[in-house]
């Protein structure tokens, strides 16, 4: 018997499904990824209900559907509530400058590091976002909530473009972008979003999480241990500020 174009014993044959030939051991998703079928040895096709995880989307690649991680967004609300790339949440309780997201491998060409400055509002005493700091291999960008922007310590007029890094003023704040792979947006109300393409999936550290589609392994201490969320956020204070 043949499995694809390889001659195999009959108990290792593939399966026919929807006009497609599946190799033994191959798995296929239905067009909306609601059903997952696996071809076992002995040509048994086993199908079960399925769905993509919350951080994933049903994607057609080379004629085959599968659950793929989509671009993800980490967010800090104006009131300093963090939502990780994979959807875990935690609230900043104290002032300080905190790591939000960075590429774990500091030698990576596409390395970046995003920090958020949380302060206490003098009027109402509530903690809120005041500024963001973004590092790339060749640029350090500081943006205050009033849109004042510095690159490598110098105040700049926007737009700024150099070495695949751009900083632009848009109608609702300041957008910082590196090679269209990561985008950091500071809104006038203090909201911060970090959008990362899936090339960064599972390569990120800090409270925005590892971007693996699973919220349950987010919000860990730098050591990897789990504590209560407020302690985790506090533990990611930037040591160099
Ligand atoms: Ca995760």
User: What's the pLDDT at 99?
Assistant: 98
Do 28 and 21 meet the contact criterion of CB atoms below 8 Å apart?
A: no
- Quick check: pTM over 0.95? no
For the chain, the first-to-last Cα distance in angstroms comes to 67
Residues 6+ apart with CB under 8 A from 29: 35, 36, 37, 50, 58, 64, 65, 66, 67
User: What's the pLDDT at 2?
Assistant: 58
User: Could you tell me the distance, in angstroms and rounded to a whole number, from the CA of residue 223 to the centre of ligand 1?
Assistant: 15
Q: Quote the DSSP letter at residue 41.
A: G
pLDDT means per 10 residues in the chain (241 residues)? 62 78 85 88 84 80 80 93 96 95 96 96 88 96 96 96 96 95 95 95 96 93 91 95 94
User: Could you tell me the distance, in angstroms and rounded to a whole number, from the CA of residue 52 to the centre of ligand 1?
Assistant: 15
- Domain-wise residue ranges, the chain: 8-69, 72-235
Pull the structure tokens for residue 164: 């695949």
User: Could you tell me the distance, in angstroms and rounded to a whole number, from the CA of residue 139 to the centre of ligand 1?
Assistant: 28
Determine the Cα–Cα distance for residues 194 and 204; give it in Å rounded to an integer: 12
Give the strand pairing for 173-178 and 72-76: unpaired
């Amino acid at each position: 018997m043949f499995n694809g174009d390889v001659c195999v014993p009959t108990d290792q044959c593939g399966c026919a499904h929807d006009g497609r030939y599946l190799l033994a051991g191959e798995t296929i998703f239905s067009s909306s990824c609601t059903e997952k079928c696996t071809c076992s040895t002995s040509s048994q096709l086993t199908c079960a209900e399925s769905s993509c995880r919350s951080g994933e989307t049903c994607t057609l690649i080379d004629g085959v559907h599968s659950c793929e991680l989509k671009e993800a967004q980490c967010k800090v609300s104006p009131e300093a509530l963090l939502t990780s790339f994979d959807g875990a949440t935690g609230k900043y309780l104290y002032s300080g400058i905190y790591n939000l997201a960075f590429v774990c491998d500091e030698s990576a060409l596409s390395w970046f590091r995003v920090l958020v400055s949380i302060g206490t509002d003098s009027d109402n005493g509530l903690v809120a976002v005041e500024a963001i700091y973004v590092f790339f291999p060749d640029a350090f960008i500081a943006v205050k909530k009033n849109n004042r922007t510095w690159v490598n310590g110098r105040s700049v007029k926007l737009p700024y473009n150099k070495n695949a890094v751009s900083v632009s003023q848009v109608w609702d704040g300041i957008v910082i972008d590196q090679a269209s792979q990561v985008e950091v947006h500071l809104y006038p109300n203090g909201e911060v979003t970090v959008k990362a393409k899936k090339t960064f999936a599972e390569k990120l550290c800090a409270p925005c999480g590892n971007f693996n589609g699973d919220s349950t392994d987010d919000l860990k201490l730098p050591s990897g241990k789990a504590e209560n969320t407020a302690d985790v956020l506090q533990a990611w204070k930037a040591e160099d500020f």
